[in-house]
Every structure is written in C-alpha cells, then in structure tokens.
Amino acid sequence: MDQRMVEFIRALRGAGVRISLAESQDALRAVELIGVGDRAEVVSTLRATLVKEHKDSKVFDFFFPLFFDTNAPPMWDVSQELDPDQQEMLQQALQSLMGDQQALEQLMQQLMQGQQFTREQLDQMAQQLGMQNAQHMYQQNYFGRQMERMMGMQAARDTLEQLMEELRAMGMSEEALQELREMLEENMGALSEQISKYVGSNIAQNLAEQELAEPRRDVEDLNFQHLSPDEAEQVRDEMRRLAARLRSRASLRQKRARVGELDPKGTIRANLKYGGVPLELRHRTRHVKPKLVVICDLSGSMRYMSEFMLTLTYMLQDLVAKARSFIFIDDMVEVTDHFKAERPEAAVERVLRENPRGYYTTDLGNSLATFFERHIDSVDSKTSVILVGDGRNNFNNPRLDLAQQLTRRGRRCIWFCPEPEHMWGTGDSDLNRYAPLSDAVYLVRNLRELSAAVDDILADR
C-alpha cells in the first residue's frame, strides 16, 4: 500500500500538483493511522494532506481511482440468462455471422460469456500502440479509442445489430431480443470501461516514473516562447505567488526608505558649524514608487510574455505611483482602462480577446508614431518606460528618431527582450539599433528573469 501511495504522489507531482516531501510523509502517516478499510476516509485524508489549491482537486479525483480502485466492472454471462432453445438460436446466428473472423468471434464469445479482457491481451495491445511513451493524461482518450479499434470493439457493435436481425428472422421474441441487447450492451460498456481504466492507469504510472527519473522543471524556468497551453496555465497560477514575493520585498524597501539611509556628505556639510563633529545627522531618502508606462508587443511570438508582464504590472499597481499600459502589433492601443474595472487576469483576457492574432504584421515604428501623436503626455521626467518586445519589425521603418526622443523625454527607457544579444540584428530584428538608444536591455525568457527585472524597476535600480 505504501508503494502504491508513493507512486500516486509521484503521478500527482508529474501532473503539476505541488506536493512537498513533508506533505507526502503526512499523507503516509495519516493513512497508517486511519487504516484502509473505509474508502471515503482514505480519499478525504489524502485530499486533506496533498491538495492545497482548489484547481488540484480535479487532478486528485482523476488519479485516485486509477491507483486505488481495482474492482472490475461487472458483466453478464448471457448463456445463463437464456433458455436452451434461445441458446441454440444464438449459437447458430453467431456461426452464420462470424465465418472465419476468428478475432471477432473470440470477442463476441467474451461478450456472451461475460469475460473481461485478460491482462495479457491488454498489455499486448498497449505494447503495439507504444503506450509506454504516453506522458500526458489528455492522451487517454486517444489510446483508449485505438485499443478499442485493435480489439475489434466497433466491429462487435456492428455485428450486434446484425445478430439482432438474424435472431429476429429465426423467430426469437422481441422481449427476449430486448433483454439480450441490454445485456450485451452492458457487457460492451464494461469492456470499454476496462480499457479506459487500463489506459489511464498506465499513463499515470508513466507519469510517476517520469517524475522519479526526471524531476519537473520549475515553473519559473519555463521559456515564454515555447510554452504549451498546460505550462502557460501553470505560469498564470505561479504569478500570484510571484506578486506576493515582490510585494514583500518592495514593502520592506519602502519601510527602510521612510527612515532613509545615512547621507555622509550631507552630514559633514551640516556639521561644519560644529567643527566637523557630527551632532546633526542627515539622511538620504530616495524615490521608491516609480511611474510606469508599459508598452507590450502582442504579436504571436511575444503574446505570452506580454500577457504575463501586463498581469504582473497590475497585480503590483499599489507599488507604483501610476501605471499606463499600451499594446501594439501594427499600431498602438492604450489598454489602461481595462484594468480599472476588472481584476488583472480578467482584464488581460479581455485585451487578448479584443486584439487577436491576425494577418497584420508587427510594426513598432508606426506604433511609436501613433504613441507620440496621441499618448506622449503619459511620459514625463519621472516616468520609466518599459518596452516588452523582441525588436522584430518585419523590415518596416523602426523610427529610431522617436525611440531616441522617448528615452530623452522619460526618466529611463528599458527593454524586456526574450532574445539574447547574438540574435539582435538577425533577420528582421532592429533591437541592435534600438538598444544603444535605450538605458538598458533585460534578457527576459522566463518568470524568474521577469521577476528579477521587475524587482529592479521597483527598487529604482
């Protein structure tokens, strides 16, 4: 039982549930205390010790029966439910329909006798399908359908209709036909359920072994430009924890800033009248709440990174004096108002929905022209401008003159770019031309690097 629980926990971890070693030990001890006699108590105990977030409850409920429910679905022995004459008619009808289809005949006999697939049958089919390489639970339906096809389940369903017609022609009553159909359909459903449980259990076991052999990458290290939909969802979940950490750091800095740091030069100047004896201390305060203008590239290659940057900006909006947000693909659009009435996650979802991928191509030069025409009042000498993009401009005019004016007008102009320096200037990239006109370029490829970059901005570094 302990080994099965360890495999269950590994599978949950492999599916993305955050479970620490201490929580795993708590689960093992708790089950040891309550015993395994009551299934409901075991389920409640494991859920209480292993599941911390509501979204993980569905994952837990999906995996638990795959590891701990071994009861096979019940099946009818049809031959025991028919009288001798009906049994004879059934055998004759089957012989006339089967011919030399041995595999189908074997399956139909299993249906008639209420026999499940043997472990050997299932293992052989799984080996032929390459199920040992399945590493994701969404593959369960695919492999289930493939195994049913290889087992001849669809052919058996078609044969069932022909069998009913054959028995009706041989004179079997409608009442007997209806009872026979119901029993065979229940048996068919039981075999399908057996295959589904087998496939799910095998994939879950693969996940457990994968988690043991190759621990999951930390969510904070997942590359924004190569995220799967599941990984993107994991990053979204991690954003709340990241925002909490950044808020704690910023709060500590603001507390220190209210006191201020000792200013040696100011202290010396103020105490010259005392012959240089430091009777009056002077402290240096610094700006701790920046004004931000965030400009995000929402084209296909930058979509996830821009989404996360916008979300994080407004999760931390209490730490900035003022924030205005803009997105662009081929032209600039302000989205600040979206975040005034909705939660950051909902606001970002609306921004993405209203600005979908399309036939248009990235044009930062044209977008900067629109920004200067309509929104340049958002930037003053106290504003930090953050451009989130890869600098790829589809060979359009980059409007370097406007980029230079933007840097001069604001307090600083910074790029968050996912591409390393050796890729600047390759293909349609203009970042090698934008970078000298900016105050800094941060390499931001994942949540860890985004966190460090944003923390630098909030710390006024």
280-335 per-position pLDDT tens digit: 877 766 556 788 999 999 888 888 999 999 888 888 887 788 889 999 998 999 99
* Percentage, residues of the chain above pLDDT 90: 17
CATH annotation of 235-458: 3.40.50.410
Give per-residue pLDDT as tens, 205-254: 777 666 554 555 578 888 888 888 878 888 888 888 888 888 888 777 66
Measured CA to CA, the distance from residue 347 to residue 349 in angstroms comes to 5
Domain ranges, ordered by start, for the chain: 2-71, 78-213, 235-458
Q: How much is the pLDDT for 345?
A: 84
Look at residues 164, 188, 204, 194 and name the one whose alpha carbon lies nearest to residue 76: 188
Q: Look at 412 and 259; give whichever has higher pLDDT.
A: 412
pLDDT in tens, 144-179: 788 877 777 777 777 777 777 777 777 777 777 787
Tokens of 21: 């070693």
User: What band does 277 get if pLDDT is binned at 50, 70 and 90?
Assistant: confident
Q: Who contacts 167 (Cβ-Cβ below 8 Å, separation ≥6)?
A: 89, 90, 93, 177, 180
Give pLDDT, residue 334: 92
Distance CA 176, CA 38 (A): 41
Measured between alpha carbons, how far is 385 from 397 in angstroms, rounded to an integer? 21
Query: pTM for the complete prediction?
Result: 0.55
